[in-house]
Chains A and B, each alone.
Chain A
Amino acid sequence: MPVDPNKPLEIQKKQYQQMVNRAKPRPPILRNTFWAFIVGGIICAIGQGFLNYFKGLGLSALEAGTASAIVLVFFTALFTGLGVYDEIAKYGGAGTIVPITGFANSMVAPAMEARPEGLVLGVGARLFTIAGPILTFGFTFAWLAAILYYLFT
């Protein structure tokens, strides 16, 4: 339904919004989902490879997990710097956001962009544009969980 200029403004706004919604390109959901599965799955399988390697060196499950995360973060920083990670992300979508590599990418990419703004308020601050909220919610909820455990055991 097109916008009817004789209707009250509120109705016109609604009609316009309906037009916008119809005209807006829909995300290719099936293709996005497929690539998110493939790319995210591959990143986790690579992580499993590092996990097995570090466990093979005799590290505990927790230590091997940390070591794998560090290696994945290193390669993400490198590939983000080279511009490769963003190319993969064009297809991978959530597959490149959800794994810990997405966390690392969300720190490196804004920090690189902010280099001209200086080392302190540019790089130093922008590293935490997205990592900041993640740490805020992660730390707060983990703290709450621990406090509840303390109170009820």
Chain B
Amino acid sequence: MDFVKAFIFGGLICVAAQLLMDLTSFKVTPAHVLVGLVTTGVVLSALGLYQPFVDFAGAGASIPLTGFGHILAQGAIEGVKKDGLLGAFTGGAAAAAGGITAAVVFGYFAALLFRPKG
């Protein structure tokens, strides 16, 4: 059941982004989509709306980049709860550190090891 929910809700977020790219007259690039998603995730998370969505849809909510925004926002807010003002500066990055480090390190090695096609 959790696979079905992840498939449907993850897929629906992708559909929303695809429609945004195809139907609007603005030039919406992948960069704009990703920035929009992460910002939306942060805002929804700060309003307390994203955690219930994650509880319900599992990876369908956490794997889209809105989930990355959610991790950043919750990390920063938890940081404030734990360390006060200092936590606002450390909590977000700390919570997202695993994914960011993986992307930098694996991305660097991939760029060294592989040649682009064509």
Contacts and interface: CB of A to CB of B under 8 A. Distances in A.
Given A44-B59, A99-B10, A65 B87 contact: no
A149 B77 contact: yes
Contact of B88 (A80, A138, A147): A147
Interface in B22-45: 22-23, 30-31, 33-35, 37-39, 42-43, 45
A32 B11 CA distance: 12
Sort chain A's interface into a size bin: 35 or more
B64 A108 contact: no
A132 B118 CA distance: 26
Given A138-B38, A142-B72, A146-B87, A33 B99 contact: no
Interface in A94-149: 94-95, 97-100, 102-104, 106-109, 111-115, 123-124, 127, 129-131, 133-135, 137-139, 141-143, 145-149
5 contacts: A41-B14, A73-B106, A80-B114, A130-B30, A134-B68
Q: Which residue, of B18, B43, B102, B108, has the highest number of chain A Cβ atoms within 10 A?
A: B18
Interface in A61-100: 62, 65-70, 72-74, 76-78, 80-83, 86, 93-95, 97-100
B60 A112 contact: no
A49 B34 contact: no
Interface of A: 27, 29, 32-33, 36-45, 47-52, 62, 65-70, 72-74, 76-78, 80-83, 86, 93-95, 97-100, 102-104, 106-109, 111-115, 123-124, 127, 129-131, 133-135, 137-139, 141-143, 145-150
A149 B10 CA distance: 29
Given A106-B34, A142-B75, A150-B80, A45 B42 contact: no
Contact of A93 (B18, B96, B111, B117): B18
A103 B34 contact: yes
A137 B35 contact: yes
B49 interface: no
B42 to A, nearest CB: 4
A50 B59 CA distance: 9
Given A127-B111, A134-B34, A146-B91, A100 B84 contact: no
A82 to B, nearest CB: 7
Nearest to B36: A137
Nearest to B7: A41
A42 B65 CA distance: 15
Nearest to A45: B7
